[in-house]
Amino acid sequence: MSKWKEWKENLGDARPWHLIDPNKKIREQSIIDKRMSLCIGCEFFLPTKQCDKCKCYMPAKTTLSNAECPIGKWHREDSE
């Protein structure tokens, strides 16, 4: 698999512009905290607070309802 295809698959459905869409944000801080805790304990979590799999900045990605972990540690919260 090409690096581009792998990156696109790991990215999932979340996009940077979803960060400014209030309909895409998680309202429950406990869910965000649990996601971030899982990320911090993950072997792919980098000191830059990025995921080495999807390359996302995790303090932002963990707030999105349509985001999910590329290796399945946490899943999307929306109904899509």
- The answer to whether residue 73 scores a pLDDT higher than 90 is yes
Residue 25 tokens, joined: 């944000």
Confidence band, pLDDT 50/70/90 cuts, at residue 16: confident
Q: How far is CA 7 from CA 10, 23, 27, 52, 54, in A?
A: 5, 25, 28, 10, 6
Q: What are the counts of helices (DSSP H) followed by strands (DSSP E) for the chain?
A: 3, 0
What pLDDT does 5 receive?
77
Residue 29 to residue 52: CA distance in whole angstroms = 24
Kindly report the pTM of this predicted structure: 0.84
pLDDT digits (tens, 9 = 90+) for 31-62: 999 999 999 999 999 999 999 999 999 999 99
What pLDDT does 49 receive?
98
